[in-house]
Amino acid sequence: MRAFVLMSVFVSIFLLATQARAEAPPPTGATVLQSRDGRSALRVGMGLQTDLRLTPTDDGLASTFYVRRARINLSGTLAPFADVRLITDVGLRDTPLYQDAWLELRATPWLRLRAGRLKVPFGYEWLETSSTFLDFVEQSLLFSLVLPRYDQGMALHGELAGNRVEYWLGLFNEASSKARDEDRGKMLAGRIAVVPAEGVSVAVSATRALGDNLPEEARGKLPTGFSFLTAPQYKLTYATGATGLFVVPPEWRLGADFVSFQGPTSLKVEYARFFSPSREGWLTAADLGKEDRRVHLAGLRSQAFYVSSTWVLTGEKKQERGVDPERPFDPGADKYGAGAWELGLRYGFARLRFEGLPGHDGPSEERLQEVTAGLNWYLNTNTRWMFNASRYVFAGGRAPYDEFLMRIQWFF
């Protein structure tokens, strides 16, 4: 009922503001179809990321080539007040066929309504940074362990005070880690960002659960997939026969971030935490209401932060969308410059505190730290070569985990 009321409020506010029209965002990709009057257009873009991953082991150096992302981006202007986007990922079998899949209606610059499958508006690294323009090969521990992901729902957003204030307010299924939404619960998400000076932004984000959502498996993997929740207490078999470690989705989530782009440098600091209560419940929708299928669900308190900095050695201006080389390497255009070179360094920390684990007295805690050094070579505006070295250090005497990553990326 609350979700229906909130959705009605969203739509009502939007309809009341349709007196004026917002300007369309700048087009991306190549235009492949356009109406005679120019009011409607369809654009296509592509992106490919191919990685080499190296991991030291007791038997030597394990290596694998990997297509991290292979995406086709379709975006269009349906009318002077409506946009649509569909991003398909054809490179991986364990990800959804599509990423973004939404329609956006623009009433005014300060009020837009986006509906479909979209990013939950929380955190700078997730919401504001496209995977194409990451400073490092993979996202931080904050993204992997705490931040929300894509979800289906709707959100109001816009810019105020001459684009110095941006806000988001959305209602979602809270089913980003599940194949489909099978419960009545929802999630409210909001974010507000302020630009106090040129190149500087400060923001806060929050989510709040509405109703009871079905549990999800606890996140316990590094960005490249290495699982660190391997202790016996994390290997559970429930009375229903299911195996894994299931926790209640976050009751609330809070975060803050600070970002600065100054000349050839950037500085990013971000923190977030969430709380999932311990309670009795069911694992799947088929179990709901069946007392003999009720299981105990552990609680989880997670928090993480990172601080990262980059410096463009060749002096170009660092921007949110990367670096535009002054002397590009582009043989097709008869240009043979050195491109732009950039150094990056990131430190991250995360803590996961489980409470109420079956057969385990007291809380169980995992802490880990990350240090990543990176070198980026921007050959031209569409091509980048990235090199990363990462070390993850765990509390409790576990051996550190090292990774060496290389990525060749092309997009338009």
Per-residue model confidence as pLDDT tens digits over 252-272 = 999 999 999 999 999 999 999
Three-state SS across the chain?
CHHHHHHHHHHHHHHHCCCCCCCCCCCCCEEEEECCCCCCEEEEEEEEEEEEEEEEECCEEEEEEEEEEEEEEEEEEEECCEEEEEEEECCCCCCCCEEEEEEEEEEECCEEEEEEEEECCCCHHHHHCCHHHCCCCCCCHHHHHCCCCEEEEEEEEEEECCCCEEEEEEEECCCCCCCCCCCCCEEEEEEEEEEEECCEEEEEEEEEEECCCCCEECCCECCCCCECCCCHHHCCECCCCCECCEECCCCEEEEEEEEEEECCEEEEEEEEEEEECCEEECCCHHHCCCHHHCEEEEEEEEEEEEEEEEEECCCCCCECCECCCCCCEEHHHCEECCCEEEEEEEEEEEEEEEECCCCCCCCEEEEEEEEEEEEEEEEECCEEEEEEEEEEEECCCCCCEEEEEEEEEEEC
User: Domain residues for 257?
Assistant: 2-411
> Looking at residue 332, what is its pLDDT?
83
User: What's the pLDDT band for 179 if we cut at 50, 70, 90?
Assistant: low
> Tell me, what's the pLDDT at 26?
54
What pLDDT does 3 receive? 54
| Residue 22 pLDDT | 47
Domain containing residue 188: CATH number: 2.40.160.10
Residue 20 pLDDT: 42
Tally of domains in the chain: 1
pLDDT at 323: 95
Q: Give the tens place of pLDDT for each residue, 70-112.
A: 999 999 988 778 999 999 887 665 666 778 999 999 999 899 9
Mean pLDDT of all residues in 159-167: 95
Kindly report the pTM of this predicted structure.
Answer: 0.89
